């Protein structure tokens, strides 16, 4: 029977620091059962892509400090890439074993 509880995977909070070029969530930081992630943009704006391409100032979706980035599948989690929009930025990611309502 599938667990219907939507709660974070224990000990799966990861902080991604963006200080230079593009960065992704390290495969070693992604729990094997992760199928959904929420990322809180903590300090400054970031730009992200989800298809494996490298984001730039003109390619990708920009998120401001305080925004929540939802990665809704294992594919999006493993293929998302991020850059800082201007100043150094951090994103805190929490992983879940399924998407809400799924």
CATH number at 21 reads 2.60.120.10
Beta strand extents in 1-102 (DSSP E only): 14-18, 36-41, 46-49, 61-63, 68-71, 81-84, 89-96
pLDDT of 99: 84
Ranges of the chain whose pLDDT falls below 50: 1
pLDDT of 102: 63
pLDDT of 3: 52
Residue 7 located in a structural domain = no
Residue 4 located in a structural domain = no
pLDDT of 57: 87
Domain of residue 86 covers 14-96
């Amino acid at each position: 029977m599938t667990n219907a509880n939507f709660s974070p995977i224990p000990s799966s909070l990861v902080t991604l620091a963006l200080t230079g070029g593009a960065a992704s969530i390290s495969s070693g930081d992604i729990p094997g059962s992760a199928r959904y992630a929420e990322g809180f943009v903590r300090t400054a704006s970031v730009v992200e892509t989800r298809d494996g391409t490298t984001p730039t100032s003109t390619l990708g979706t920009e998120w401001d400090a305080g925004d929540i980035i939802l990665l809704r599948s294992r594919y999006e989690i493993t293929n998302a890439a991020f850059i800082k929009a201007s100043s150094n930025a951090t994103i805190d990611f929490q992983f879940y074993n399924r998407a809400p309502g799924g």
